Amino acid sequence: MPFKRFAAAMLLLLALFLVGPWTPAPLLAQGVDVFLNVTGGGTRKLNIAIPDFTVVSGADVQGAGKVVASITGADLGFSGLFSVVSGTTAIPANDPGALQRAWTEFAATGAHAALHGLLSLRPDRLEGEMRLYDLTTPEHRLIATKKFAVPNSQGRRLAHKIADEVVLQFTGELGIADTKIAYVVGPRGAKEIVVADYDGASAVPVTRNGSINLTPVWSPDARSLAYTSYKQGYPDLYRAFPFERRPEQTLAAFVGINTAPAFSPDGKSIAMTLSKDGNPEVYVLSLATGSMRRLTRHAGIDTEPTWAPTGRQIAFISDRTGSPNLYVMDAEGTNVRQLTSGGFHTQPRWSPKGDSIAYTARQGGHNIWLVNVDGSNPRRLTSGGDNQGGTWAPNGRHLAFQSNRSGRWQIFAMLADGSAQTAIATGPAEATSPSWSPRLP
Amino acid sequence: MVTRGFFLVVTSLLVVAVVGSGCAKRPATTQAAAPAPTGTASTTPGSQQAQPGTQAQGPSQGSSMQPPAGTSPTPGTATATPPPRPAVKDFAAVPELQDVYFDFDKYDIRPADARTLDANAAYLKSNPNSLILIEGHCDERGTNEYNLALGERRAKSTMNYLVSQGVQANRITIISYGEERPACTDKSEACWAKNRRSHFLVKPR
């Protein structure tokens, strides 16, 4: 397997640095969806062909072979690593000759790789097999295969898992299609939390209390969300388990605000902002013992903690110099140093790779920025409308955020260089405060 | 149930300890860090996991609920009579109590608003049987987590001013709505200025 992955990585490198943009032949392009939607910051992409998946068992009355292939194709296009050609008819099952003819045609139009999906529609489950081929070799070598099984209702999840496996084969790291985004829907005064697939599909409610629910954040195991709710009248912190029949927990219900939760990377603690001692300060709650440790001590506002992926440092916001800026401290609350100055900088979110921190800067309107963890190289990622609330995908390559560039608040996603900004939650309601989940268990 | 009963007893002991020791070293203007009303605990039945917030109380540093017996709260975390949080929905506005307003990203009381607060304080002192809820609000600019903290500071500085004018601190509860409940929804400075406010509600004691 390592050897195969290495070979696949070589293929990707070859494609990215040596091969020009893929122009499908006109014949092939008829009736074909070409995903050229992602510029990926100028990097060349791997051209991958994804015919409709082949149904090898069961009656495909709902067109699963076409739907699952198109979702996998959209996932790979979203990744920014691939140019995807999909929508061609499925390759017949158990017909090696037809397979070779199809790959030869795709290779002739510039495809570097091909994904052949095989679906088995069982009464109780949906099985999918991914077969990945290297079309740059004369024999169209099989690079990797992997099988997945999901409940019948989770065809989208099967597609996402296949896409993530393809990304793994070419980059050495799983993709992020099998993730969720939690966000807030509704106007001011009536906000509820929902969870959707990372691409905005299949949104389901998490809260339905008719109150104001704010700023959901995922736990590292992707099984729970911490959030602020006014459902008991005051802004208190709760923890919900959106995929389980499990009652929500009250995390903090002190006098004053109970806001801005952030799970530690090991999931054992939650940093948060409480004003119970007179002033908004950052605290850390140990989930095992219930002990509450105060980290900041300053007359100004200290809020919005975000953990370094090592768990050893916490960035936060303080207005101690007159307006909010980014600060970093050790996880014990010591060694506080200022990271940005002179701005109105809020909403810090430490990159999962550890090297940079996303934040929101106000200069008239708001935009998403990145800054290195040593305070160097602040750079703006967004423009147009108002853009807030950046949240990292678990691979550190994408960010989701809220934008009103279309006239109402929607959730957008982009690559971490600011390219490929696309709306992912486009329902009629105002959508704000996204939180991108870790990879699902 | 055994666990919850244990914690209720512990919480009660801690409250007694706080009241009995009279350890309020902060000025009376400081809002008490009272425990959450035990009613909130009823929202989290049946979990095997710790439910820290429902049991946790005032102590600000290094305090553990286990073992809590004999744990002494950190000084300054509670005034002599920590008020429970009254139900927000029981409060109502009265025409005598006027809103006060703030500059962008500020929470200090401006001179003209101090005169408004003087009048509010006089009304409250002449109606000593009312409890007061001060709402702190922000305009839509800035981001919502920060604005929750900013609204809290506005409500707090408003409360401190009223206390300095002789209103009893234990009559006052504060709540921040951040930018979530604007009074005016236009996108203009005139509208934003109306949203950067402290708003007053009262109910009988």
Give the residue, B62 or B124, on which the prediction is more confident: B124
pLDDT of B62 > 50? The answer is no
Q: Kindly state the helix (H) or strand (E) to which residue A15 belongs, with its residue range.
A: helix A2-18
In chain A, residues with a C-beta closer than 8 Å to the C-beta of B36 are 236, 250, 253-254
Smallest CA–CA distance, residue A435 to chain B, in Å, is 14
Q: Which residues pair with B92 in a beta bridge?
A: B202
**What token pair was written down for B160?**
């401190």
Q: Are strands A192-197 and A54-57 parallel, antiparallel or unpaired?
A: unpaired
Cα separations in angstroms, A333 against A34, A315, B75: 51, 10, 20
pLDDT of A1 > 60? The answer is no
d(CA B145, CA A228): 10
pLDDT of B6 > 80? The answer is no
Contact between B149 and A275 using a beta-carbon 8 Å cutoff = yes
- Sign, Cα dihedral of A382, A385, A389, A393: negative
Give the residue, A353 or A7, on which the prediction is more confident: A353
Find the closest chain A residue to B77 by CA distance.
A277
Q: Which of B35, B52, B148 sits opposite A290 (nearest CB)?
A: B52
Find the closest chain A residue to B41 by CA distance.
A250
Q: What would the 3-class secondary structure string for chain B be?
A: CHHHHHHHHHHHHHHHHHHHHCCCCCCCCCCCCCCCCHHHHHHCCCCCCCCHHHHCCCCCCCECCCCCCCCCCCCCCCCCCCCCCCCHHHCECCCCCCCEECCCCCCCCCHHHHHHHHHHHHHHHHCCCEEEEEEEECCCCCCHHHHHHHHHHHHHHHHHHHHHCCCCHHHEEEEEEECCCCCCCCCCHHHHHHHCEEEEEEEEC
Window 16-45 of B: residues touching A by CB (8 A cutoff) are 26, 30-37, 39-41, 43-45
The residue type of A426 is T
The pLDDT assigned to B2 comes to 37
Cα separations in angstroms, A313 against A278, A308, A318, A333, A418: 25, 5, 16, 9, 26
In chain B, residues with a C-beta closer than 8 Å to the C-beta of A255 are 31-34, 85, 173
Give the residue, A153 or A164, on which the prediction is more confident: A164
d(CA B6, CA A106): 70
Q: What are phi and psi of B176, to 5 degrees?
A: -105, 130
Q: What percent of chain A has pLDDT over 70?
A: 90
The pLDDT assigned to B49 comes to 37
The pLDDT assigned to B27 comes to 34
Smallest CA–CA distance, residue B17 to chain A, in Å, is 18
Lowest mean pLDDT among A156-170, A288-302, B2-16: B2-16
Spatial contact of A135 and A19, defined as CB atoms under 8 Å apart: no
Q: What global pTM score does this model have?
A: 0.83
Q: Are strands A82-86 and A46-50 parallel, antiparallel or unpaired?
A: parallel
Q: What are phi and psi of A179, to 5 degrees?
A: -135, 170
- Which stretches of A51-89 are assigned E, i.e. beta strand? 54-57, 82-86
**B17: confidence class by pLDDT, cuts 50, 70, 90:** very low
**A7: confidence class by pLDDT, cuts 50, 70, 90:** low
The pLDDT assigned to A87 comes to 84
pLDDT of B191 > 90? The answer is yes
Q: What percent of chain A has pLDDT over 90?
A: 86
pLDDT in tens, A127-139: 999 999 999 999 9
pLDDT in tens, A371-424: 999 999 999 999 999 999 999 999 999 999 999 999 999 999 999 999 999 999
Contact between B176 and A294 using a beta-carbon 8 Å cutoff = no
Q: Which of A273, A279, A292 sits opposite B56 (nearest CB)?
A: A292
- Other C-beta atoms lying within 10 Å of the C-beta of residue A124: 7
Give the residue, B78 or A227, on which the prediction is more confident: A227
d(CA B141, CA A1): 52
Mutate to test the interface with A, among B143, B163, B174 (most CBs of A within 10 A): B143
Q: Which of A233, A248, A319 sits opposite B88 (nearest CB)?
A: A233
Q: What is the mean pLDDT of residues A310-317?
A: 98
Find the closest chain A residue to B150 by CA distance.
A301
SS3 A78: helix
The pLDDT assigned to A62 comes to 87
Spatial contact of B116 and B123, defined as CB atoms under 8 Å apart: no
Residue with tokens 């409360």: B159
- Other C-beta atoms lying within 10 Å of the C-beta of residue A245: 5
Give the residue, A78 or B75, on which the prediction is more confident: A78
pLDDT of B30 > 80? The answer is no
Mutate to test the interface with B, among A183, A221, A291, A402 (most CBs of B within 10 A): A291
> Does B67 sit behind a cis peptide bond, omega within 30 degrees of 0 on the bond before it?
yes
- Other C-beta atoms lying within 10 Å of the C-beta of residue A159: 28
Residue with tokens 């303080």: A318
pLDDT of B170 > 60? The answer is yes
**A187: confidence class by pLDDT, cuts 50, 70, 90:** confident
Contact between A247 and B65 using a beta-carbon 8 Å cutoff = no
pLDDT of A12 > 60? The answer is no
Q: What is the mean pLDDT of residues B122-143?
A: 96
Window 93-152 of B: residues touching A by CB (8 A cutoff) are 105, 141-146, 148-150, 152
Contacts of A310 (CB under 8 A, 6+ apart): A265, A354
The pLDDT assigned to B20 comes to 35
Nearest by Cα to A78 from A167, A146, A5:
A167
The residue type of A412 is F
The residue type of A439 is R
SS3 A92: coil
Give the residue, A21 or B85, on which the prediction is more confident: B85
Most confident residue range from A4-13, A20-29, B80-89, B122-131: B122-131
**Whole-number average pLDDT of chain A:** 91
d(CA A118, CA A242): 31
d(CA A100, CA A103): 5
Q: What are phi and psi of B39, to 5 degrees?
A: -60, -30
Q: Which residues pair with B176 in a beta bridge?
A: B136
d(CA B62, CA B132): 33
Residue with tokens 């993730």: A179
The pLDDT assigned to A60 comes to 87
SS3 A170: helix
Smallest CA–CA distance, residue A101 to chain B, in Å, is 56
pLDDT of B113 > 70? The answer is yes
Lowest mean pLDDT among A93-102, A121-130, B70-79: B70-79
**What token pair was written down for A169?**
């084969």
pLDDT of B48 > 70? The answer is no
Residue A167 exposure: Cα atoms within 13 Å on the Cβ side: 25
d(CA B32, CA B168): 12
Mutate to test the interface with B, among A249, A334, A360 (most CBs of B within 10 A): A249
SS3 A292: strand
Q: Which of B61, B89, B174 sits opposite A294 (nearest CB)?
A: B61
- Other C-beta atoms lying within 10 Å of the C-beta of residue A419: 15
pLDDT of A178 > 50? The answer is yes
The pLDDT assigned to A43 comes to 65
In chain B, residues with a C-beta closer than 8 Å to the C-beta of A284 are none
d(CA A130, CA A143): 10
